[in-house]
Amino acid sequence: MMKNDITIKNKLGLGTAPLGNMFREVPEDEAMETIQSAWNEGIRYFDTAPFYGAGLAEMRLGEILSSYKRDDYLLSSKVGRIILDEEEEKEGLFEYGRKNKIRTDYTESGTLQSIEDSLKRLKTDRLDMVFVHDLSPDFLGDEWITKFDEARKGAFNVLDRLRDEGVIKAWGLGVNTTTPIEVALELEEAHPDLSLSATQYTLLQHERALERMMPLAQKNDGGLVIGGAFNSGALFGGDYFDYKEITPDIKERVARFNDVAKNHGVNLKDAALQFSTAHPAVKAVVTGSTRPDRIKEDLQALEANIPAAFWEELVEKELISAKAALPGSRK
């Protein structure tokens, strides 16, 4: 039974992966100031996950949000990983997070435990949306199909039930590839109604999503939250694209986007956020930062004037798909 009547204020949420010390050690006061600043600017949707710093992002978010009325904001976290008390040396994205070991678990009992643990760290009594995290080939390799089966019998059933009982408002997948969302949307026995798609419906990368994921989301009343709208900073000349080192061909595409943006006096951040929110299946974009002033910047980006000629030139130069939903010109 899909409801999917969630409305997210400003179509913008705060993504908290950076607050789990992704790529660097973020001082506590900087993390707190970022969350507080998001609240002060009117952000009322916050997305987090146990994976972000082995619980660190959830704990930091809980510190600030627990002082506000729970009905005043929307909160999503994720299932699929249990944070253990045992510690280990870390490497990779969250090398600077907490040292706790993490167990991958998409079973029914693992899903319920994950939610319970998240509620404690977040100092709250409920989650609004729950995403099944990284159930995808980029994290699990060939094992993803076995794990998907585990989730189909475990996590999906539990989350369907919790949604139908009104315990949560919506559930879906939270992944960096399109296939798992597409497969889940076509299942007969489970009914995801809101998924988080990171890096796949962006100015730089959206052709694949437009083929199946976006039409399926619309057909099945399955909304989407878009994460990674800047593809790990690649759009702004960063060294990473989708969490990996950027390649020369992506750099060349970014340069072509910059040329078109200069022609029309357009800021690429404004264009990226407006593009990702323009599709009718998209409920919101979540942006992550550890810099308090970025939140205001993102909100302003959604309101910036972008001439229709800018979008037309991008389509003409085949930098964006002619099938994409384009933001309306606000001259």
Distance CA 235, CA 102 (A): 32
Q: Are 52 and 118 in contact (CB under 8 A)?
A: no
Distance CA 203, CA 285 (A): 13
Cα 313 to chain centroid, rounded:
28
Distance CA 6, CA 194 (A): 9
User: Which amino acid, 58?
Assistant: E
Closest listed residue to residue 102, CA positions, set 123, 144, 91: 91
Q: Which residues are catalytic?
A: 52
Please state, in angstroms and as integers, the Cα–Cα distance from residue 196 to each residue in 201, 232, 263, 308, following that order. Answer: 11, 16, 33, 28
Tokens of 83: 């944070």
Rounded to 10 deg, the angle between the 144-153 and 155-164 helix axes is 40
